[in-house]
């Protein structure tokens, strides 16, 4: 036999031996975990399912964990409290069956930690949630809040504010940190791992896009027509409303609401003291009542917010609530009722002319004083019964043929057949409980002359 033949024969023998060894090891790993396999940070490499089950049970049964913050111990708990349960033998056999037994050489030489570490031991979600809630309560609420990076407008330009990395914790963040620590078999857990982290940073592409978009939206033309006024919303104002939410462009409803509230107060009439020109040409100051209008801010806010984000020019009259809104800017109009408490007299103005003039009896001072202000005939009723209390506390029930309530406290205009006289100082001793008592011979004419929502000016 030549040397060459002997070398070939020897080589084949080695190969055969290696093949047998490889096959044996492969067969071995059909019933054993691959080398350095970890479950929940616990080494079970080379063990059978039965051996691994015992190892896990021993290691996990009463493992103690400590949660610390700045070297201070906040809480301690056992694996049992966290709902840790070792895998059963059956489950472990299923894990072995899923591993690639043929890869054992590579697994030994170059397996990474993630390759070697299987999923954590079984955790009871309800137990872990209860534990996380307890730790959050122990940690307390006096913590720095975490904030995402956001869009800001200052000095006539948009900038991106960096996120705030706070110390706040949540049930979800603590739960995740606990699960991760248990997975890695780490008995000491730093609470900082559970701090809520920003989800949007200053480098977010969406936030940079939002900034560019905001610069364009701020130039939008938005104009309001309110009575005979035209109000253009300044670009700086629009820009101040623009912000970001989770990295995307958004409009601040609270700032828009504040703007509309200011606009309503400036142009609306519901809260305003009026300088009223009386029947004799003199001007009297009359406080606000229930008559008047304002911008319905709650309804207009989402409309304006949508228009801002749409980036399209808009001209509109805002949603109005109340009575007395006129496009020409007039307030009371030419049809209204005028009542002078000092003169104890009432005038009905119809289309600019006084059509009824009559003495009346208003409320008896002080308890029944008729309120001053601009009110509204918000209802008209026939044959009503007025009920209330007399000065001595007794109840009264007064039937009337004509009833026109004008405020929200029970004051109105009605006939008063029990009154023997009207005008003068009679009201000082025999005044009403606040209503405007009107002669029965006149009240039907008033009732017929005034439509619903006729203003009533009392001074």
- Which amino acids are annotated catalytic? 414, 435
Residue 385 and residue 399 in contact, taking contact as beta carbons nearer than 8 Å: yes
The burial of 112, by beta-carbon neighbours within 10 Å (0-12 exposed, 13-18 middle, 19 or more buried), is given as exposed
Distance between CA 131 and CA 129 in Å, rounded?
5
3-state secondary structure 72-114: EEEEEEECCCCCEECCCHHHHHHHHHHCCHHHHHHHHHHCCHH
Distance between CA 374 and CA 178 in Å, rounded?
66
In this structure, what DSSP letter does residue 195 have? B
* Cα 447 to the center of its chain, rounded Å: 48
Distance between CA 211 and CA 193 in Å, rounded?
31
- Give the number of other Cβ atoms within 10 Å of residue 365's Cβ: 13
Q: Is the peptide bond before 366 cis (omega within 30 degrees of 0)?
A: yes
* Cα distance from N-terminal residue to C-terminal residue, the chain: 136
For 381, the 3-state DSSP assignment is strand
Distance between CA 4 and CA 367 in Å, rounded?
131
In angstroms, what CA-CA distances link 326 with 136, 186, 267, 268, 323? 58, 74, 12, 11, 9
Provide the CB-side half-sphere exposure for 280 (13 A, CA). 7
For the range 230-233, what are the long-range contacts, defined as Cβ-Cβ under 8 Å and sequence gap of 24 or more? 231/263, 233/259
CB under 8 Å to 297, separation ≥6 — which residues? 257, 260, 261, 264
Q: Minimal CA–CA distance to 238: which of 256, 250, 226?
A: 256
The structure tokens listed for 216 are 């364009």
């Amino acid at each position: 036999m030549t040397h060459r033949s002997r070398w070939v024969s020897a080589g084949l023998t080695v190969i055969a031996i290696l093949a047998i060894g490889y096959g044996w090891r492969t067969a071995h790993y059909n019933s054993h975990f691959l080398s350095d396999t970890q479950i929940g940070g616990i080494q079970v490499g080379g063990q059978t399912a039965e051996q691994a089950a015992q190892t896990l049970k021993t290691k996990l049964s009463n493992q103690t964990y400590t949660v610390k913050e700045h070297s201070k111990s906040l809480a301690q708990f056992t694996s049992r409290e966290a709902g840790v349960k070792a895998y059963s033998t059956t489950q472990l056999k299923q894990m072995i069956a899923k591993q690639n037994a043929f890869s054992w050489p590579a697994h030994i030489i170059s397996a990474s930690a993630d390759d070697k570490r299987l999923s954590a031991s079984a955790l009871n979600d309800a137990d872990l949630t209860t534990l996380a809630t307890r730790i959050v309560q122990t940690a307390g609420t006096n913590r720095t809040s975490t904030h995402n990076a956001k869009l800001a407008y200052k000095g006539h330009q948009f900038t991106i504010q960096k996120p705030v990395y706070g110390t706040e914790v949540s049930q979800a963040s603590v739960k995740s940190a606990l699960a991760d620590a248990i997975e890695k078999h780490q008995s000491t857990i730093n609470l900082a791992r559970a701090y809520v982290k920003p989800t949007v940073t200053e480098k977010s592409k969406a936030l940079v896009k939002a900034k560019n978009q905001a610069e364009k939206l701020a130039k939008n033309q938005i104009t309001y027509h309110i009575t005979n006024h035209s109000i253009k919303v300044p670009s700086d104002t629009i820009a101040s409303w623009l912000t970001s939410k989770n990295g995307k462009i958004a409009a601040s409803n609270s700032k828009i609401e504040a703007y509309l509230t200011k606009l309503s107060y400036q142009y609306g009439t519901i809260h305003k003291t009026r300088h009223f020109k009386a029947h004799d040409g003199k001007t009297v100051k009359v406080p606000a009542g229930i008559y008047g209008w304002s911008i319905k801010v709650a309804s207009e806010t989402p409309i304006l917010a949508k228009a801002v984000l749409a980036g399209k020019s808009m001209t509109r009259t805002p949603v109005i609530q109340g009575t007395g809104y006129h496009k020409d800017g007039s307030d009371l109009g030419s049809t209204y009722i005028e009542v002078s408490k000092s003169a104890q007299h009432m005038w009905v103005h119809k289309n600019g002319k006084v059509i009824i003039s009559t003495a009346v009896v208003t409320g008896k001072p002080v308890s029944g004083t008729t309120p001053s202000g601009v009110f509204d005939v918000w209802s008209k009723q026939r044959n009503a019964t007025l009920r209330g209390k007399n000065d001595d506390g007794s109840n009264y029930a007064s039937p009337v043929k004509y009833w026109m309530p004008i405020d929200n406290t029970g004051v109105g205009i009605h006939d008063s057949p029990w009154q023997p006289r009207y005008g003068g100082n009679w009201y000082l001793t025999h005044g009403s409980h606040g209503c405007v008592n009107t002669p029965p011979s006149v009240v039907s004419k008033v009732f017929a002359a005034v439509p619903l929502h006729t203003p009533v000016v009392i001074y």
